[in-house]
Structure 1
């Protein structure tokens, strides 16, 4: 049986009548089956205060070879889990299957992969529909004003074309200073527009004695080396004048050891900020992963929360107001914030940041950094989504990796493996099931960042890079582009990936890949199915992925190949390709690349 004939449900508008239900709502949910599949009865199995209950479904429509079932799902709990039970036959020949968010199973599996609906306020539309462009300020661009600034004592000055120091243990790595600034970013916003981005996210702008600035010495101003408060205000105005959004980067897990709060705490054991950190009896203190320059904050202390995350006077709130008007935050080390041994107030902190940000800006976005399993941290009332390394980056890397690439996921002692399409599909389905539809769609599809290898180094080939970009823009989630990916910059790990943008050497750019990013962004903007549509697999083999993004306003078919393969017959009528990174040999038989078609007719609709 074709994958298109499998029973299917997801959280998109074709299947769920209300994506943002209120508490106590009764939500109509739909399931599709195929006429050749002898399903005789369907129930929704949900839980009522953790007790399983079943609600019957009924056939509401036949369309072509598709049977549509519908049932009513009561939203009793803030996060409601559910799955479908399918039955046919009687007596000894009776058969039962479950339809879960991770696919169809014929055994009684755990609730971990249930579908879920949440009554918590969802992410803002702009955060779900946009395209994110990440800038690491020190390496992006220098304005003329940067030449007049003195290099600080802690820094090791570097020329713009110098090689990046990135070897493990090299003391120059965090200190190498290229001198990019915020006015340099403003001067290159036309390039960001060419890529198709609508959300600008910069890594921290607070002062810190490093090129990455994740060791903040204050949260009360912008680093003068970046141009100070005035430069950040200019950047904010320029971004908003284009109708875009600006995201800040805030480290809530720790400060730098030069931070004013920490200085007071070290100087005086009775200082009010002493309890804001985790000091031991002998003056020792907890830090991020043992790095003494990054003392860990104690979010069990109410006064720290008032200063940092909660209320109108907090750091979270102040930067969302003029003159900076930040539209939300990417929270650094969100997974570790508020967690230390037997202390875990992480969810309280996430909810507090969400409440504070929304009080200042009702449409604020809060994204949590999390580089492994964030599923228990995404109930919907805290982080809207995550930087989706585990649920997107590593699976895509595995499918497209050059066998000779030295790239590794975070902390893994061996290179990322190379796997076939079925393994990629299973990984995407399981992670999507664990996160839930809404959190998956709000999370960032990342091919690389300032903390990871570059996608070009992972795949080792411009064509495979464009296949990866095609998946980044067409699978559920929000594309996040690390500045330089679009022109083919390389890097074997995070520090090496922080190379400078070669503005003065356009002949080194991969202009074909740059054009591909722009075309994919335009297609995503033009077709709601690529932003809000469901995900239904059409065909998967080792070298090919074919899937539908379905939406009531029109659906699209995406065909991605990492290698040439035989033709595949699908029961769909297609229009002209919307985007193609290859020369098609036929609609479903071609070489490596990604092609996106508008679906003119699907018998199941």
Structure 2
């Protein structure tokens, strides 16, 4: 039998990441140089640390210099010039080798490997214009407008059902306390009557969670309550209060120092959209070129080629791009300007936009939208966020100057679900023909690290992390218990990316499908802190953990070092020059004490307690962390430096 290749445990391996401790001077423009630092623990003897970069398609190499050394390890440094918009690099470590230290290894964004690997997981210097600075610090709260809140002036009938002056034909009015349908055509028709003024009336609740950015699913008139089948992009749905209500909401948010993210479909419209009606009426019209007719007027491509009510757009049309995404007259630009003043767009099914058969203009569309945003920036600094919905591997779509980030289902939602799922769950695993598997922490860590290594640090930092959304089961229904949900919230607060909370998750709300999860908010129970109707412990923990994210710069902007992974426990650090934060997550009781000497973290002398949830205890002896857990829990600690 072949002996395993030598590798030390995770907490004894050399460290480098793209955060400010190891990459303190990232380049902003072509020609600027970055300072790159590697920390090599004393238990990992090396003779040479070398840089290998790819510039103009060719390999460049250089040796790092050892600039500082202490009993726990050494700092090695070099500089790398950004001669291309994206420069990939990695480090080679050469030394005498030992039983668990390889004589030859590569350090890439996927970790330490004692064999040759492809460039796919190399670190990256990226000088494409980044997302606005505020995005890395943001905490997002997602609202499905119909289910969040009715305003005080919203009309209702004697039984409490919405009674607007013009009730659309598709709508089935519902009482606020009724449960949404689980599946079927009724899911798109149930109207609970939430509106934008109702959102304004409850911004105190949003702010209490630490959130500073409100993400609204579509607000355009449509043929359904989800509004992804827009009938026009020219105005806000009167059912939500119209343009005036969106102006009021935007002003209320900005007065609090908060921001607004809107939702746009660039892949399709509804079949009642004014463009589609014009296209069907006249094959010679400009609008007929907006869609993919196979037999005018009744046969055409649609979303997934399975939903005729969502005809697919043909983004090769210059006129469509002018109206929808390009320039000051476009839909994209209009909602970012006064008086609406949104702060960015989430693009629905961005992975499908501009793609059909042998046509692929997706990246062109992304660049066009980015250019439209750039033209609205103030003082030449980025101010608007461009976020792509993508349900699987988005790495190929995040490599250039298009989308700033994605909804990170692959690198966050899926691994957290698979680690924390209720063992008895029969829920579907995000579209796969299986229930959610219960995987060990080692597998979860590999997914988080390996998928994150496929992205630039900027794309990862500016992507949304969500435990649930309006398209998925609720977090509580996935994990099954309060205790595991709180561990999930701790991961949301701790990992790189923008924490995004779907309204109601903070209450322990349940839902078995995306439609079933679109639950009306129980405002009376929230005001009364009624433990029979809401989980007040999850609400408390969510406020505390996201508040900690707001407090600790390392949790928002720090790099990421994975320090330990076992079946039931994960230990990681968010590295930062102002002090690291060590995060311990346990999904179950540990068999006994776990001891980790974390002197690999540069210059630390010990730990300070920040926050703890559940029966997980952390104590320390100098740099040695001792962990005990009698059940699911989370601990966060700040490192002390001399």
TM over 0.5: yes
**In the TM superposition, what is the alpha-carbon distance from 1:584 to its structure 2 partner?**
4.4
Whether 2:111 is the aligned partner of 1:103: answer yes
The residue aligned with 1:253 is 267
Structure 1 counterpart of 2:638, from 595, 598, 604: 598
In structure 2, the CA distance between the partners of 1:20 and 1:175, relative to structure 1 (3 Å rule), is farther
Whether 2:29 is the aligned partner of 1:22: answer yes
Whether 2:150 is the aligned partner of 1:135: answer no
Whether 2:135 is the aligned partner of 1:120: answer no
Whether 2:286 is the aligned partner of 1:272: answer yes
1:181-196 equivalences in 2 (<5 Å): 181-196=195-210
Whether 2:162 is the aligned partner of 1:146: answer no
Instruction: Summarize deviations over 1:106-133 as a string: whole Å, max 9, x none.
Output: 1211111111121011111211101000
**In the TM superposition, what is the alpha-carbon distance from 1:378 to its structure 2 partner?**
0.6
The answer for unaligned runs of 5 or more in structure 1 is none
Whether 2:542 is the aligned partner of 1:517: answer yes
1:78-477 equivalences in 2 (<5 Å): 78-89=85-96, 95-147=103-155, 149-150=164-165, 151-167=167-183, 170-283=184-297, 284-289=299-304, 290-361=306-377, 362-477=382-497
**In the TM superposition, what is the alpha-carbon distance from 1:2 to its structure 2 partner?**
4.2
Query: Aligned partners of 1:471 and 1:132: how far apart in 2?
Result: 15
**In the TM superposition, what is the alpha-carbon distance from 1:574 to its structure 2 partner?**
4.3
In structure 2, the CA distance between the partners of 1:410 and 1:585, relative to structure 1 (3 Å rule), is closer
**In the TM superposition, what is the alpha-carbon distance from 1:84 to its structure 2 partner?**
0.9
Query: Aligned partners of 2:27 and 2:629: how far apart in 1?
Result: 40
**In the TM superposition, what is the alpha-carbon distance from 1:166 to its structure 2 partner?**
2.2
**In the TM superposition, what is the alpha-carbon distance from 1:193 to its structure 2 partner?**
1.1
Q: Which moved more, 1:143-152 or 1:475-484?
A: 143-152
The residue aligned with 1:567 is 593
In structure 2, the CA distance between the partners of 1:586 and 1:171, relative to structure 1 (3 Å rule), is closer
**In the TM superposition, what is the alpha-carbon distance from 1:570 to its structure 2 partner?**
3.0
Instruction: Summarize deviations over 1:447-498 as a string: whole Å, max 9, x none.
Output: 0000011110000000100000000110111100000000000111111111
**In the TM superposition, what is the alpha-carbon distance from 1:244 to its structure 2 partner?**
0.4
Query: Aligned partners of 1:463 and 1:286: how far apart in 2?
Result: 46
Query: Aligned partners of 1:350 and 1:124: how far apart in 2?
Result: 16
The answer to whether the Cα contact below 8 Å between 2:616 and 2:634 also exists between their aligned partners in 1 is no
The residue aligned with 1:547 is 572
Q: Which moved more, 1:592-601 or 1:392-401?
A: 592-601
The residue aligned with 1:578 is 610
Q: Which moved more, 1:16-25 or 1:480-489?
A: 16-25
Alignment TM-score, normalising by the size of structure 1? 0.96
Query: Aligned partners of 1:109 and 1:262: how far apart in 2?
Result: 49
**In the TM superposition, what is the alpha-carbon distance from 1:83 to its structure 2 partner?**
1.0
Count of equivalent residues: 598
Whether 2:547 is the aligned partner of 1:528: answer no
Query: Aligned partners of 2:276 and 2:262: how far apart in 1?
Result: 22
The answer to whether the Cα contact below 8 Å between 1:380 and 1:439 also exists between their aligned partners in 2 is no
The answer to whether the Cα contact below 8 Å between 1:45 and 1:85 also exists between their aligned partners in 2 is yes
The answer to whether the Cα contact below 8 Å between 2:463 and 2:498 also exists between their aligned partners in 1 is yes
Instruction: Summarize deviations over 1:239-293 as a string: whole Å, max 9, x none.
Output: 1111000001011111111111111100000001111111124432111112111
Instruction: Summarize deviations over 1:421-454 as a string: whole Å, max 9, x none.
Output: 1111100001110112221111111100000111
Instruction: Summarize deviations over 1:62-84 as a string: whole Å, max 9, x none.
Output: 13312111122221211111111
In structure 2, the CA distance between the partners of 1:32 and 1:491, relative to structure 1 (3 Å rule), is same
The answer for unaligned runs of 5 or more in structure 2 is 1-7, 156-162, 599-604, 620-626
The answer to whether the Cα contact below 8 Å between 1:245 and 1:327 also exists between their aligned partners in 2 is yes
Q: Which moved more, 1:96-105 or 1:502-511?
A: 502-511
Q: Secondary structure at the match of 1:144?
A: coil
In structure 2, the CA distance between the partners of 1:48 and 1:425, relative to structure 1 (3 Å rule), is same
The answer to whether the Cα contact below 8 Å between 2:618 and 2:635 also exists between their aligned partners in 1 is no
**In the TM superposition, what is the alpha-carbon distance from 1:3 to its structure 2 partner?**
2.2
In structure 2, the CA distance between the partners of 1:354 and 1:64, relative to structure 1 (3 Å rule), is farther
1:485-500 equivalences in 2 (<5 Å): 485-500=505-520
The answer to whether the Cα contact below 8 Å between 1:529 and 1:553 also exists between their aligned partners in 2 is yes
Structure 1 counterpart of 2:39, from 24, 32, 41: 32
Q: Secondary structure at the match of 1:146?
A: coil
Q: Secondary structure at the match of 1:162?
A: coil
C-alpha RMSD over aligned residues: 1.6
**In the TM superposition, what is the alpha-carbon distance from 1:352 to its structure 2 partner?**
0.9
Q: Which moved more, 1:133-142 or 1:559-568?
A: 559-568
The answer to whether the Cα contact below 8 Å between 1:392 and 1:446 also exists between their aligned partners in 2 is yes
Q: Which moved more, 1:118-127 or 1:456-465?
A: 118-127
Query: Aligned partners of 1:420 and 1:258: how far apart in 2?
Result: 48
Q: Which moved more, 1:148-157 or 1:322-331?
A: 148-157
Query: Aligned partners of 1:584 and 1:457: how far apart in 2?
Result: 23
The answer to whether the Cα contact below 8 Å between 1:20 and 1:121 also exists between their aligned partners in 2 is no
Query: Aligned partners of 2:138 and 2:102: how far apart in 1?
Result: 47
The answer to whether the Cα contact below 8 Å between 1:370 and 1:387 also exists between their aligned partners in 2 is yes
The residue aligned with 2:5 is none
Query: Aligned partners of 1:374 and 1:240: how far apart in 2?
Result: 31
